[in-house]
Structure 1
Amino acid sequence: MNDALAALYPQHLATLRERTDTALARGGFEHLVVPAGRPITKFLDDQDYPFIVNPHFKHWLPLVDAPGSWLVYTPGEKPKLVFLQPRDYWHVVPEAPTGYWVDHFDIVVVRKAADAIAELPGLARSAVIGDQHCGLQDIVANNPPEVIDHLHYHRAFKTPYELELMREASRRGTRGHRAAERAFRDGASELGIHQAYLAAVGQLDAELPYASIVGLNEHGAVLHYTNFDRSAPADSRSFLIDAGASASGYASDITRTYAGKNAGEFQALIDSVDAAEQSFVARVRAGQSYPELHVHAHHVLAGVLREHGFIRMSAESAVESGVSSAFFPHGLGHGIGMQVHDVGGFQAAETGGTIAKPEGHPYLRLTRKLEAGMVVTIEPGIYFIDMLLAELKDKPFSGDIDWTRVDAFRKYGGIRIEDDVVCTASEPENLTRDAFALL
């Protein structure tokens, strides 16, 4: 894989330089300065939270564990890495940078975090991108909107180098999903399933792009369930896993739902949601409005609810009345890349602005029109959430819902199927299904 990355990286770097040149010119800045960040110390403690690198830093180079380091870019000059390699016998000291990318940078090694200041350009003329934890005491990130808006808008378009890393993240994630399914079939607890996932992926919790969701039975109805029961239930009727993996800081985001033994009707519902999901993936084409695809998904899923006997109203009525939103209460998906919920999802243009969410759909995370090079998730679901279903019982259309059938499915929690999909100039590339196929 390193040979492929080595071949693709120069073009990736050239793309970042071009984007940054334009962004800096628009903001009237001469330099881009990006801190990798530093660990955040826990309150009333002397230990740190797991380090998370600044995404603007790892966009340029595949370093995700270099706290205290800095990236400096000046148009027309070679990018510079100020690499912190402290004298420390308490922790593992980062090794000197090596690999396919190092020849593209001027690398300066410093031994103390404060020594980096001497290696940075004049900050009054610099766009410094980071949060309040990123810099040194005397350096404050200014995050100029003119620069941020341009970079975030174009970050939606992945370079071939980035796509190769995302394919690897998908391959790692699907290995974990296969191991998790086996653990579920063997009767493991949620914690045991998660541990099987980590072992197969080869990553720690802190290295994953997000906290894994591993829900058995009714827990599948909790959209962000991360509790990990230590004991297995007496009867594992259903299993929902939403878990990804990382590759040099790039994420995969994968969800699958499985039926346990003697759950034929639930399996039939899974199959219908899976077929619907694949039909939505097929619509990931250049020019497709993502909000319109989200609303279309509501109509299709309302048809699934009617087909399986949960509602008696038409799909149109189910969407207009909000019934479909009670069974499918989240967005169809989001942009993905260095961050699992990538930036710029609502941005109207490279100069800023916001594209509003469709009325009645407050949790949609992406409102842009799809274009070639974008990577998005497609993750429809049908859930049996007690709180949302209780709200429907007082509505005039309550009689159009078969409550006996709904109640029979509460024990399964819910269904979500999620793939990571590249919008291309022609057929979409399904990173997730391709990775599963390799297994």
Structure 2
Amino acid sequence: MNLPDLGALYSHHVRVLAQRADEALARGGFDHLVIPSGTLHYQMFDDRDYPYAVNPNFKAWLPLTKVPNSWLVYTPGKRPKVIFHQPFDYWHVVPDAPNGWWVEHFDIEIIRTPDQALALLPADAARCAILGEPQSTLGAFAPNNPEPVLAYLDWHRAVKTPYEIALMRQAQRLGVRGHRAAEAAFRAGASEFEIHMAYCSAVGQDANELPYGNIVGLNEHAAVLHYTDLGKTAPQPLRSFLIDAGASAFGYASDITRTYATTGHDEFQALIDSVDAAQQQMCAGVRAGVDYKQLHVDAHLSLMGILKDFGVLKVSPEAALATGVSAAFFPHGLGHLIGLQVHDVAGFAASDRGGRIERPQGHPYLRLTRTLEPGMVVTIEPGVYFIDMLLDEVKQCGHGDSIDWNRVDFFRPYGGVRIEDEVMCTEADADNLTRPAFAEA
């Protein structure tokens, strides 16, 4: 997408954010919305800083992810203001002067030191809703994160503007570029570390820019849900590969998972294909008015049906779900909201005034319990794994007879399977953001 197109979408995006801010401030009884970009965090007993992570509420307004000590100020009826920190600094790269499709929508003030922002912030800090972390405090401007304001903004952040969707599609294309390179490295016999480096090179982003740490698991490591150790030597024999990795586009994240088998491991490849086919059906179920909790429960039944077909389960999918056996093979949630953050906010919100929709009993790791609305983007990431500690719990709970342990022994060396796409809910059919990116790559 070229910049003029993105600029037009951004103009609409800023109007939507202003409308949301107007209502949020009215609900909270505040006159101004003040959002610090965040500050650097330094390691204890050292002068080294941790990788900087911009305040998500700041980058909702601005495509700026590397400008600590900056501020966004919005007052209803006025142009929003950006206080842009551009220090005199010969130790580090100084941010370029503000430029691009966003600048025409803001009054921009350049500061050289963080404390210069004080003279440019609203006169009365008590009249401000200040959204940020405690470390961003500057003088009287301490983040207060008022609940009525955050509840409203977080709730509506789940519905993406066309500008946000355009950037999320770009994050998909970048992520898929990395996934293609990672698969090629796996096929060539690379180690986990080498696969990770191939991914980063293809995406053009390093660990500080990627939205989360790459999960690159060969063989049994695919059974560790958040495996990030990155072995330097490829195991022998090389059987399977699971990669969960995304990319960033102006602060918006992608989150994609694929699983592969080496040539000759036909039965595990058949299991991958079955999970992939089921996952596409789950993606198609993303529709306005659908309860995401039900999608998650239905995913358990679908995956257990696959395991029964492959001889792993000896009981019905319904029995496996009722007894908790299914959770040993599919222990995480079906997915989550995604956007400015990988696990985006308000996944449990009952309304824009707050409240909480609890997870279904027995499903403690589900990250989304809301009813789907047009404009929401969710991940759909079913998986089946062979995790010894969870399978041992099945035996300890007296349900060992539900499982054919010889079949578990067969699949254990492969670790597991996970397939993940991002899907946008619309008024009609689901819009899968991930699959077209693979088709184009």
TM-score if structure 2 supplies the norm length? 0.99
Query: Alignment partner for residue 284 of structure 1, among 286, 289, 292?
Result: 286
Matching residue of 2:422: 420
Return the offset for 1:362: 0.4
- Structure 1 residues without counterparts, runs of 5 or longer: none
Matching residue of 2:44: 43
Matching residue of 2:115: 114
Return the offset for 1:178: 0.2
Matching residue of 2:10: 9
For residue 263 of structure 1, what is the amino acid of its counterpart? Answer: H
**1:207-226 equivalence runs, <5 A:** 207-226=209-228
Return the offset for 1:345: 0.3
Per-residue deviation, residues 352-402 of structure 1 (Å, max 9, x unmatched): 000010000000000000010000000000000010011112343322311
Matching residue of 1:372: 374
Output the CA distance in 2 between the equivalents of 1:157 and 1:133: 29
Number of residue pairs aligned between Structure 1 and Structure 2: 439
For residue 290 of structure 2, what is the amino acid of its counterpart? Answer: Q
Output the CA distance in 2 between the equivalents of 1:283 and 1:258: 25
Matching residue of 1:177: 179
**1:93-112 equivalence runs, <5 A:** 93-112=94-113
Residue 407 (structure 1) aligned with residue 409 (structure 2): yes
Return the offset for 1:137: 5.1
Residue 432 (structure 1) aligned with residue 437 (structure 2): no
Return the offset for 1:262: 1.8
Matching residue of 2:391: 389
How large is the Cα RMSD of the aligned pairs? 0.8
Matching residue of 2:193: 191
Matching residue of 2:66: 65
Per-residue deviation, residues 36-83 of structure 1 (Å, max 9, x unmatched): 001100111001011110000000010001111000000000000000
Output the CA distance in 2 between the equivalents of 1:78 and 1:171: 34
Output the CA distance in 2 between the equivalents of 1:270 and 1:56: 38
Output the CA distance in 2 between the equivalents of 1:100 and 1:388: 51
Output the CA distance in 1 between the equivalents of 2:53 and 2:139: 19
Matching residue of 1:136: 138
SS in 2 for 1:257: strand
Contact 2:63 2:250 in 1 (8 A): yes
Contact 1:37 1:135 in 2 (8 A): no
Matching residue of 2:314: 312
Output the CA distance in 2 between the equivalents of 1:348 and 1:403: 42
Output the CA distance in 2 between the equivalents of 1:394 and 1:48: 46
Contact 2:118 2:139 in 1 (8 A): no
Residue 252 (structure 1) aligned with residue 254 (structure 2): yes
Output the CA distance in 2 between the equivalents of 1:135 and 1:250: 26
SS in 2 for 1:396: coil
Per-residue deviation, residues 264-285 of structure 1 (Å, max 9, x unmatched): 1100000110011001000000
Matching residue of 2:267: 265
Output the CA distance in 2 between the equivalents of 1:222 and 1:187: 21
- Structure 2 residues without counterparts, runs of 5 or longer: none
Contact 2:125 2:140 in 1 (8 A): no
Output the CA distance in 1 between the equivalents of 2:137 and 2:186: 44
TM-score if structure 1 supplies the norm length? 0.99
**1:319-330 equivalence runs, <5 A:** 319-330=321-332
Contact 1:240 1:416 in 2 (8 A): yes
Moved over 6 A (4+): none
**1:140-151 equivalence runs, <5 A:** 140-151=142-153
Moved more, 136-145 or 411-420: 136-145
Return the offset for 1:243: 0.2
Moved more, 67-76 or 390-399: 390-399
Per-residue deviation, residues 213-241 of structure 1 (Å, max 9, x unmatched): 00000000000000000111122100000
Matching residue of 2:230: 228
Contact 2:31 2:76 in 1 (8 A): yes
Contact 1:38 1:135 in 2 (8 A): no
For residue 315 of structure 2, what is the amino acid of its counterpart? Answer: M
Return the offset for 1:204: 1.1
Per-residue deviation, residues 245-265 of structure 1 (Å, max 9, x unmatched): 000000000000000122111
Contact 2:64 2:250 in 1 (8 A): yes
SS in 2 for 1:255: strand
For residue 185 of structure 2, what is the amino acid of its counterpart? Answer: A
Moved more, 156-165 or 225-234: 225-234
For residue 402 of structure 1, what is the amino acid of its counterpart? Answer: D
For residue 166 of structure 1, what is the amino acid of its counterpart? Answer: M
Output the CA distance in 1 between the equivalents of 2:219 and 2:137: 45
Output the CA distance in 1 between the equivalents of 2:62 and 2:54: 11
Return the offset for 1:191: 0.3
Residue 80 (structure 1) aligned with residue 42 (structure 2): no
Output the CA distance in 2 between the equivalents of 1:364 and 1:284: 16
Output the CA distance in 2 between the equivalents of 1:88 and 1:316: 63
SS in 1 for 2:100: coil
SS in 2 for 1:336: coil
